[in-house]
Structure 1
Amino acid sequence: MRPLAWTNRGHNSAADIRRILDRDGHRCTACGDSDGPFEVDHIDNTRGPHYNTDANKQTLCVTCHEKKTRAEARRGHQRYYARRRLPQKPHPGLIG
């Protein structure tokens, strides 16, 4: 059995991490790195009924996970500021 090189940010149990690492062949699914350390990432980070399923988890090296997290945060900020710039229309029931 291959030794585990992974970090845990507290979202997954050790058994979950081992299962996902084994499923993904102890490789980063983004860049193919096999040296680690690895983290188990939620592909879709919106909290829904599928959030904690194995199909929504992937193995990423720490570098790829940080890049993905920064990109998600950047998109979230862009959506937030885009909503703030939308013209504010009065509610149809308040017109007239």
Structure 2
Amino acid sequence: MSWTSSNRKGRLPVGWTALRITVLKRDRFTCQIRGQGCTAHATEVDHIQPGDNHGLENLRAVCSTCHSRKSTSEGIRAKARLRALRHRPADRHPGLLAQE
């Protein structure tokens, strides 16, 4: 993952490296997503529920392919939500307003 456009790294807790290793060992360095194109060898740690909950119950070991796919789909959904908020309803035709 590229950290250049993200503030995620700064929000990780002190001791993230040790926590990351704990999760990887717990999951036996095996990807817990196992999606299409999965390499099965986990090298990254993923938050199951998005946000800043860094509890062990919310972390899982994943391969870089599955992590990339999941992060991309989360980003696409977030952009869609923002786009929906910007959408203005179409102005009603003035002639139709008089008929209501």
TM-score (norm 2): 0.63
What secondary structure is seen at the aligned counterpart in 1 of 2:41? coil
Deviation at 1:53, TM superposition (A): 0.6
Higher Rg: 2
Matched, 1:46 2:46: no
| CA distance in 1 between partners of 2:73 and 2:55 (Å) | 23
> Paired residue for 2:24?
21
- Mapped to 1, the partners of 2:77 and 2:85 lie a distance apart of 12
Q: Report the aligned-residue RMSD.
A: 2.1
What is the number of residues matched between the two proteins?
75
Check the 8 A contact 1:28/1:59 in 2, yes or no.
Answer: yes
Q: Distance in 1 between matches of 2:62 and 2:41?
A: 11
Q: Distance in 2 between matches of 1:25 and 1:35?
A: 9
Structure 2: where are the runs of 5+ without partners? 4-8, 90-100
1:58-87 per-position Cα deviation (integer Å, ceiling 9, x unaligned): 111011111011000000011111111254
Between 65-74 and 16-25, report the one with greater CA deviation.
16-25
Tell me the equivalent position of 1:90.
Answer: none
Does 1:81 find its partner at 2:83? yes
Share of identical aligned residues, percent? 29
Tell me, which stretches of 5 or more residues in structure 1 are unaligned?
A: 1-8, 88-96
- 1:2-43: CA deviation from partner (whole Å, max 9, x where unpaired): xxxxxxx7546232122101211210001174434x101111
4+ residue runs over 4 A deviation:
none
